[in-house]
Amino acid sequence: MNLTLHVWRQKNAQADGRLETYNVADISPDSSFLEMLDELNEQLLTSGQEPVAFDSDCREGICGMCSLVINGVPHGPDRGATVCQLHMRKFTDGDAIWIEPWRAKAFPVLKDLICDRTSFDRIIQAGGYVSVNTGSAQDANALPIAKPAADKAFEAATCIGCGACVAACKNASAMLFVSAKVVHLAELPQGQAERQKRAKDMVQQMDTEGFGNCTNQYECEAVCPKEIPADFIATLNREYVRAGVTASE
């Protein structure tokens, strides 16, 4: 496959960025998108140019590091997949591909295709944990949990915090991410002690970080690599209201 790549290049967080055009040839349709970028970087290094900086880690769809907007879609044209799971057979020989970083005030670009997503870490630090000492691990059946609650908690826990939901939203909202983290613990007995404080603190930190509001257009659900449902946002809203009512009593 021969491809034309329009790649966002930005020297650092203070510099102005721009799209640079590169041509790559003989790309295998069976290679992943990141492997294609590896080949581009080998080409750039061979010619004495600086390689394109991009994030990656596990390359198995687990870590959420591979944060790229491909042809205007976070994680590219594949549904329910990360960039590292995207294969070049999804494209056609001769295609032009536009590659950019996440675009959000709360995700400032650090260099090229790498953005700073530590705002997500600070939201988790605000309440996405269980601080109550639950003691040593118990047998699996020692703490009964209803299957619907367990299934919902597991579904929420699949969120990998990649930030695609933010990149797809016109308001740069982090509501899907925050709702997944809140719902995950709200459905389990271990999360009950801090349930109301958690929702309030995490939403407040989300606002502090500069994320926008949800306007229910479901772009977040459409691009989520783990296909987390936007219904969780309604649950988050209920948790937040409940926390406010309890605090005023």
Q: Span 169-192, mean pLDDT? A: 94
Tell me whether residue 136 is in a domain. no
| Res. 144: pLDDT tops 90 | no
For residue 247, the model assigns a pLDDT of: 61
What are the pLDDT digits (tens) for 151-176?
999 999 999 999 999 999 999 999 99
pLDDT confidence bin for 131, thresholds 50/70/90: confident
- Regarding whether 123 and 84 lie in a shared domain, the answer is no
Q: What is the CATH number of the domain that holds 51?
A: 3.10.20.30
For residue 90, the model assigns a pLDDT of: 96
In order, the DSSP letters of 125-146 are HHHSS--S---SPPPTTSS---
Give φ, ψ of 170 to 5 degrees.
-65, -20
For residue 246, the model assigns a pLDDT of: 72
- Regarding whether 78 and 27 lie in a shared domain, the answer is yes
pLDDT confidence bin for 249, thresholds 50/70/90: low
Q: Span 174-179, mean pLDDT? A: 97
* Structure token pair of residue 80: 């329910």
Provide the domain limits for residue 232: 118-131+142-248
Cα separation, 224 vs 186, whole angstroms: 21
Count of Cβ atoms closer than 10 Å to residue 12 Cβ: 10
Length of the chain: 249
What are the pLDDT digits (tens) for 73-101?
999 999 999 999 999 999 999 999 999 99
Domain count, the chain: 2
| Res. 183: pLDDT tops 90 | yes
State the pTM of this model. 0.92
- Regarding whether 234 and 184 lie in a shared domain, the answer is yes
